[in-house]
Amino acid sequence: MIIRKSLAEIDAIAASGAILVRTLRLLERQLRPGVTTAELDAAAERFIRSQGAVPSFKGYRGYPASICTSPNSMIVHGIPGPYELERGDVLSLDVGVTLDGWVADAARTFPIGPVSVQASHLLAGTETALFAGVERCVVGGRLGDVSHAIQAAAEGQGLQIVRSLVGHGVGRDMHEDPQIPNFGKPGSGQRLESGMVLAIEPMTTIGTTEVVAADDGWSIYSQDGSLAAHFEFTVAITPDGPRILTPWHLAEGGDTVESQLANIGGRARVG
């Protein structure tokens, strides 16, 4: 069952999203060789709690940390620990913030110092695929339009879409209906309605569409060891178009109408 949200409820998720964006910015400033993923986790948890919010992931189905840190061929759900970032790594950071019972969920893959041309291409292409999906989050469209737009953009860049991991509805629960595959057929699936809040999250690799799960019960890698990326927004469908509730793409202080339009091609509102 898809739970549609009122404008006030969407504003509440945006408030969680604003803390989430500040968390990602704080983490981004700490990314350098030698930093451990456990240090990033501690910084994220401290900041989120300082804002009167809760890290949504902590304790979720027994998940032991506040964020997910997934380097290189790890696609998602990496548990922070002693791993030290290295120059040339890519690192996916996935953050969930709950404020007043409302969850926002977002992720972004960062380069650690200069990275290979292939790695830059992977990151840029996956971010483009996310925006292609967001642009389809409009009343009257269908879920398959979103899925297809993500797939077409990613595959058009020569990237592979991970099949077994999907986006999802988000609200009072981190994972609500519907599931949102990152591949699909235009014109198919659930109709999109005002008030739906969706976590759109393409996960890609430069090699395979297949994944393997690690022994820790959480981390998921590309099966062939190829580099992976994960970009995610929480997005509300509104009568005015898609509204990005976790706008990590905006420069700090850059939340003017002009900068929003410049950043997203004029089709999505932000915040």
Task: Please report, as ranges, the residues that interact with ligand MF3 according to CB under 6 A.
Answer: 57, 60-61, 63, 68, 77, 94, 96, 105, 107, 199
Is the Cβ of residue 5 or residue 260 nearer to ligand MF3 in the bound state? Answer: 5
One DSSP character per residue, 190-248 reads SBP-TT-EEEE--EEESS-S-EEE-TTSS-EEETT---EEE-BEEEEEETTEEEESS-T
Q: Is 176 in the site for Co ion (CB under 5 A)?
A: no
Is the Cβ of residue 99 or residue 199 nearer to Co ion in the bound state? Answer: 199
80 binds, among Co ion, ligand MF3, none (CB under 5 to 8 A by kind): none
Total residues at the site for Co ion (CB under 5 A)? 2
Residues 39-58 that bind Co ion (CB under 5 A): none
Least CB distance to Co ion at residue 168 (A):
6
Evaluate whether 95 touches 44 at the Cβ level (below 8 Å).
Answer: yes
Evaluate whether 206 touches 108 at the Cβ level (below 8 Å).
Answer: no
* Dist. CA 126–CA 132, nearest whole Å: 10
153 binds, among ligand MF3, Co ion, none (CB under 5 to 8 A by kind): none
Helix (H, G, I), strand (E, B) or coil at 80: coil
The DSSP 8-state label assigned to residue 166 in this structure reads: -
* Dist. CA 89–CA 111, nearest whole Å: 6
Q: Is 197 in the site for Co ion (CB under 5 A)?
A: no
Q: Is 95 in the site for Co ion (CB under 5 A)?
A: no
Which range of residues in 22-30, 104-112, 130-138, 255-263 is near Co ion by CB under 5 A? 104-112
Q: Which residues bind Co ion (CB under 5 A)?
A: 105, 199
